[in-house]
């Protein structure tokens, strides 16, 4: 599992409240990603980070912000949660395997967020 954990694993919150999801990795990976997964849409990239304090937007970044103050932690914040942000959120790291020329992404276990 490449040492990736996510917290919380499940959360129910009300519309308009702020929510922060945490991704933690223990293997000093440079690149970290946040995706959301919804039926019919697959995995859509929200934000990603290529180093401490270095982040960039993905396909569906509106309504989300991220921070990475330490290599091991990548935080995703919903400033004011809406029902459309009900989803399963996956964190991922990427690792280049030169021996097989593959660029594998390892995913965390996911966080199921429900906004009522």
Partner 1 sequence: GENVEQHPSTLSVQEGDSAVIKCTYSDSASNYFPWYKQELGKRPQLIIDIRSNVGEKKDQRIAVTLNKTAKHFSLHITETQPEDSAVYFCAAFETSYDKVIFGPGTSLSVIP
Q: Give the interface with partner 1 as residue ranges (CB under 8 A).
A: 31, 33, 35, 40-45, 48, 50, 58-59, 90, 94, 101-105, 107-110
Residue 42 is encoded by which pair of tokens? 């697959």
| 3-state secondary structure (DSSP) of residue 85 | helix
Query: Minimum Å distance from CB 77 to partner 1?
Result: 20
- Distance in Å, CB of 70 to partner 1, minimum: 20
CA 111 to chain centre: 9
Comparison of 34 and 81: residue with beta carbon closer to partner 1: 34
Q: Which is nearer to partner 1, 14 or 59 (CB)?
A: 59
CB of 17 to partner 1, least distance (A): 26
Quote the tokens at residue 4: 């990736």
Nearer to partner 1, 35 or 74 (CB): 35
Residue among 81, 93, 90 nearest 112 (CA): 90
Q: Of the two residues 58 and 63, which places its CB atom closer to partner 1 in the complex?
A: 58
Q: For the CB of residue 65, give the shortest distance to partner 1 in the complex, in Å.
A: 18
- Widest pairwise Cα distance in the chain: 48
d(CA 56, CA 74): 12
Distance CA 33, CA 9 (A): 17
């Amino acid at each position: 599992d490449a040492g990736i954990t996510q917290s919380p694993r499940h959360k129910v919150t009300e519309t308009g409240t702020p929510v922060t999801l945490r991704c933690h990795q223990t293997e000093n990976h440079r690149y970290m990603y946040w995706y959301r997964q919804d039926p019919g849409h697959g995995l859509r990239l929200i934000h990603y980070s290529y180093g401490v304090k270095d982040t960039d937007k993905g396909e569906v970044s509106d309504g989300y912000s991220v921070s990475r103050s330490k290599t091991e932690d990548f935080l995703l914040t919903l400033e004011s949660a809406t029902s459309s942000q009900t989803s399963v959120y996956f964190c991922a790291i990427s690792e280049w395997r030169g021996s097989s020329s593959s660029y594998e992404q390892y995913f965390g276990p996911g966080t199921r967020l429900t906004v009522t």
